[in-house]
Amino acid sequence: PEVFVDTMGSAPTYLVARYLMGCRVGCYVHYPTISTDMLKLVQRRETSYNNRAFISKSAVLSRAKLMYYHFLAAAYGVAGRASHATMVNSSWTRGHISEIWGESPMPFIVFPPCNTDNLRGIELLDREDLIISLGQFRPEKNHSLQIHAMAALRTKDPTTKARLVIIGSCRNEGDEARVAAVREEITLLGLEECVQVRVNVPWAELKDHWLRRAKIGLHTMVNEHFGINIVEFMAAGVVPI
């Protein structure tokens, strides 16, 4: 082929396509394989979903992981620079790609297409004291923080009528286990009356029952590369936090 375009984030293939096959290479990057935020996280020895406690608590393991990450970032940069034209989905992604791949050529921001026609027609009136969270049940979404935020709100204002509904989809058994952990945490904190979990909600129900009634959309992922749920919140008149 004369042109090779990657949208899956497989940077090593750019080297093959450009230097072995002689292709013009283009790519659309949704999320960098490694970012400077990941390097800083390990350097600070901070525990996270992608930096387990047994590593962050060990100086030796943290140093070894940091060396590995620096090697991976260097290799990722070499592969990325084989692209003739690079597109990214947000300014956040462009910042990280530019830092690792370089700015020559500067990546173009091309926002993902988001059809919001059905959501923009939702009325802004008659909203309830309802907070909704929308996203897959993955570790980086940090649903635990949402639950603890609700517990803190109830402690500060026991009379509040605010409710939190955590809405998300399950892809596999791992996601189902995370849903069970979320429900267990809700029970342990005594929040069954004000926090609810809804799994694999149909679009009609999401639009007409939840987005139409909510005032606030809660999102707790750190280093979000785009966040289509935030776009949906804003289009439906739900204030994102």
Q: Exposed, middle or buried, 204 (CB in 10 Å: 0-12/13-18/19+)?
A: exposed
Query: In DSSP terms, which residues pair with 218 in a beta bridge?
Result: 133
* Half-sphere exposure (Cβ direction) of 186: Cα atoms closer than 13 Å: 19
Exposure string for 73-83, b = 16+ CB within 10 A, e = fewer: beebbebbbbb
Q: Please give the Cα distance from 241 to 216 (Å, whole number).
A: 7
Torsion on CA atoms 121, 123, 128, 134, rounded to nearest 10: 10
Q: Is pTM beyond 0.85 here?
A: no
List of residues 6+ apart from 220 with CB closer than 8 A? 133, 141, 142, 143, 145, 146, 149
The one-digit pLDDT tens for each residue of the chain (241 residues) are 899 999 999 999 999 999 999 999 999 999 999 988 899 999 999 988 888 899 999 999 999 999 999 999 999 999 999 999 999 999 999 999 999 999 878 899 999 988 888 898 898 888 999 999 999 999 989 999 999 999 999 999 999 999 999 999 998 999 999 999 999 999 999 999 999 999 999 999 999 999 999 999 999 998 888 888 999 999 999 999 9
Q: Are 45 and 53 in contact (CB under 8 A)?
A: no
H-state helical runs in 27-58: 36-43, 53-56
Exposure string for 108-143, b = 16+ CB within 10 A, e = fewer: eeeeeeeeeeebeeeeeeeeeebbbbbbebbeebbb
Torsions phi, psi of 211, nearest 5? -65, -30
